[in-house]
Amino acid sequence: MQVSMSVNGRQVSGDVEPRTLLVHFLREDRGLTGTHVGCESSYCGACTVKMDGKAVLSCTMLAVQAEGADITTVEGLAENGELHPVQEGFWERHGLQCGFCTPGMIISAVTLLEENDNPSEEEIRRGIEGNLCRCTGYHNIVRAIEYAGAKMRGEEPAPAEWENA
């Protein structure tokens, strides 16, 4: 089947089996391996991509269901060599260790902050509940999203915990 969609601002098309999952179309056909498969069951969130402004799970939807959609993957977040504030926050606040959940976590955080750029800690924690991380205990992911929120509001982020020590 022919499928076409916008991926990271580029119009792309491909010939896929009807059963091809969106994540496999992105990873195998488009070579965008930043989107990861962690559980094939909609539970871990590693495969999260942005589709028409919303965070969706690309491992449990078919490529053909994304026909005509506007998809953003983690590879499409940085613009003109400038990291997205959420990417910057993850780097500045040690929001990742092994990095495997990170692309999906970052996409979820981006959509969270697009809806609410000043979330409370509880709102952040609820907002990323669908993304599992096994390394960080989420502590520094929350700090990273707080950092990004401050940046997106044009404010100075709070200092890192280790800077206070």
Stretch that binds another protein, among 50-58, 99-107, 112-120, 147-155 (CB under 8 A): 99-107
In the complex, what is the shortest distance from the CB of residue 68 to another protein, in angstroms, rounded to a whole number?
Answer: 23
30 binds another protein (CB under 8 A): no
Q: Pick the closest to residue 144 from 125, 116, 130 (CA basis).
A: 125
Asked if 90 touches another protein (CB under 8 A), the answer is yes
CB of 133 to another protein, least distance (A): 7
Based on the shown chain and the rule CB under 8 A, indicate whether residue 19 belongs to the binding site for another protein: yes
Q: Which residues lie below 8 Å from residue 19, measured CB to CB, with a gap of 6+?
A: 62
Helices (H) and strands (E) in the chain, counts: 6, 5
CB of 102 to another protein, least distance (A): 6
